[in-house]
Amino acid sequence: MAKRAAPEVNAGSMADIAFLLLIFFLVTTTIEKDKGILRSLPPIDDSQTEPPIIKQKNLFTILVDRQNRLLVEEEIMDIKDLRQAAIEFLDNGGSVNAAGEPCDYCRGKKDESSSDHPDKAIITLKHDRETSYGTYIEVQNELVAAYNFLRNREAQRLFNRSFASMLEEKEKNQFNKDEKLNEDIEMIKKMFPMKLSEAEPDKS
């Protein structure tokens, strides 16, 4: 008897099956795209040293109450004006820093009654326990935006590129470190150090 050849399996429907799976995965795929505002918390300080006395003019106080209203430097302010107010405060440069150097890159009004130097300028934020988180983030966003605006301005002036592009390049080359670039970034960060303190809300 002749040996019978095994019949070939019909693979015509394979494409259909693959398509079915493909469409399933296409529909269920969500490319993760989490982004957010990165902040550092202050470490807990147990030492009993007196906190240094900070002049009132070097403080930029922001209060957010439970109705999500803003009180900035004792005045009611709209959130859309906050960024400009913070920029003006940080960029004022009315006097000298701790080392006695004047702020030669500040372009502010050099107002005697506002901050001395970006090194000394501190923004304090205090919110109520019942402030909504959405408003709180909005305020944070505006303050970070103020710092980013100033850092970006200096990066444009000194290196002729945006601060964001410098950070991006650093991120891309994280395995072969570019010392020059890191130094440049640190320098700009030092020009406008992010001094943003958050007070704990009152327990009531």
Partner 1 sequence: MSKFKKKKGGDLPAISTASLPDIVFMLLFFFMVATVMRDNTTMVENTLPAANQVEKLKKDRTMFIYAGKPNSQYKNLGTEGRIQINDAFVSLDAIQPAVFEYIATLNEELKDRVVVALKVDENTNAGIISDVKQELREANALKIMYVTSVSKED
Interaction site with partner 1 (CB under 8 A)? 11, 14-15, 18-19, 21-22, 25-26, 28-32, 34-44, 64, 127-138, 140-141, 144-145, 148, 198, 200-201
- We find the least distance from the C-beta atom of residue 51 to partner 1, in angstroms, to be 17
**Which residue number, 124 or 132, has a Cβ lying nearer to partner 1?**
132
DSSP symbol at 95: S
| Beta carbon of residue 183, minimum distance to partner 1 (angstroms, whole number) | 21
Contacts of 79 (CB under 8 A, 6+ apart): 70, 135, 138, 139, 142
Between 137 and 158, CB nearer to partner 1: 137
In the bound state with partner 1, the residue whose beta carbon lies nearer, of 44 and 99, is 44
Of 74, 60, 43, which is closest to residue 111 (Cα–Cα)?
A: 60
Is the Cβ of residue 56 or residue 176 nearer to partner 1 in the bound state? 176
What residue type is assigned to position 40 of the chain?
Answer: S
CA–CA gap between residue 50 and residue 87 (Å, rounded): 30
Helices 133-159 and 179-191, axial angle in degrees (round to 10)? 120
